Amino acid sequence: MPRPNTAQLAYGSATVVCSAVAMLLLSGAPAGIGTVVIGVAALALGLLVSLSVPAPRRTRAAREATAPAESTARPADGSMATAAPRVGAPRAHAGAGYGVARVGGHSARR
């Protein structure tokens, strides 16, 4: 189960406090079972509010970082077939050595 984020904690806590105070003031319940019932109702309402706050979505970079790595094992039939290269993988010949000459140089001066 994922941990609650800051917004969920804040909204849930504020709901518990505000709803408990409002119900206690409106009901005029003296100490006893009425106070316990109001406290339990306030906690249930706070839980409902905190669960209804949408959780932030994961970014594409975070999803890709946690994706399982591709296996490089051979197929079970012993063939020499290889997996297709991953999309976005750097190629060895693409601009080889190009960045080395520009290290430390400012891009606007060239």
Q: What confidence tens digit (pLDDT) does each residue in 14-70 have? A: 999 999 999 999 998 878 899 999 999 999 999 999 988 877 677 777 667 776 655
Residue 24 counted as domain residue: yes
pLDDT at 109: 57
Please tell me the distance from the alpha carbon of residue 5 to that of residue 94, in angstroms, as a whole number.
42
Residue 12 counted as domain residue: yes
Residue 45 counted as domain residue: yes
Looking at the 3D structure of the chain, how many domains does it have? 1
Residue 37 counted as domain residue: yes
pLDDT at 36: 93
Residue 38 counted as domain residue: yes
Q: Specify the pTM.
A: 0.49
Q: Using an 8 Å Cβ cutoff, are 34 and 27 in contact? A: yes
Give the least confident one: 36-45, 67-76, 93-102. Answer: 93-102
Q: Which domain holds residue 46?
A: 6-52
pLDDT (average), residues 69-74: 56
Residue of 97, 4, 105 lying closest to 49 (CA atoms) = 4
Residue 21 counted as domain residue: yes
Q: Using an 8 Å Cβ cutoff, are 30 and 69 in contact? A: no
